[in-house]
Homo-oligomer: A and B are copies of this chain.
Amino acid sequence: MTFKPIGVIHSPYFSKKAAPRQGRLAPEVASTIVVEAAFAAGLEDIETFSHIIVLFAFDQSRGWSDTVKTPWEEKRHGVFATRSSRRPNPIGMTVVKLIKRDGATLHVQGLDAFDGTPLLDLKPYVPKFDRIEEAGGGWLRAADGDGEVKK
């Protein structure tokens, strides 16, 4: 299957070190998403949502690894039990706050993608579908606390 970028993400994250482990851990940081003109008409009414789901390509991923070390623990975990970029299909997903739509440009907060990241898709965050009240945190429960990175 071949997918093509439909836009680009501009963010203040120019290197791996600078980016948060998850956008929700740096919720105030502003990024912009610039959708290509050919797809701009698809944005109609997206501005009615307070939050959107951003799918992007981890284009700087070092390739897939079945287990990965995370910032949260020494123990390695299966890559599908993490949000690491080292996935067989390097697709990232982050829920972000939509501040404003200005034509084909979306101003968002809480996106953890590097500057220049290729955009794959945008979806509305719909509480009925996406907000799971009863969900547990799995081995990542630690991250559900203060969000501090455990070195």
Contact = CB atoms under 8 A, between A and B. Distances in A.
B42 A80 contact: yes
A51 to B, nearest CB: 4
Interface residues of A, number: 67
Contacts of A140: 49, 124, 126, 128
Label chain A's interface by main secondary structure: mixed
B55 A124 contact: no
Nearest to A2: B2
Contacts of A23: 129
20 contacts: A1-B118, A2-B3, A23-B129, A39-B80, A42-B66, A43-B80, A46-B78, A48-B138, A50-B134, A51-B132, A55-B89, A80-B123, A81-B124, A82-B124, A95-B129, A95-B130, A126-B137, A128-B143, A130-B130, A131-B135
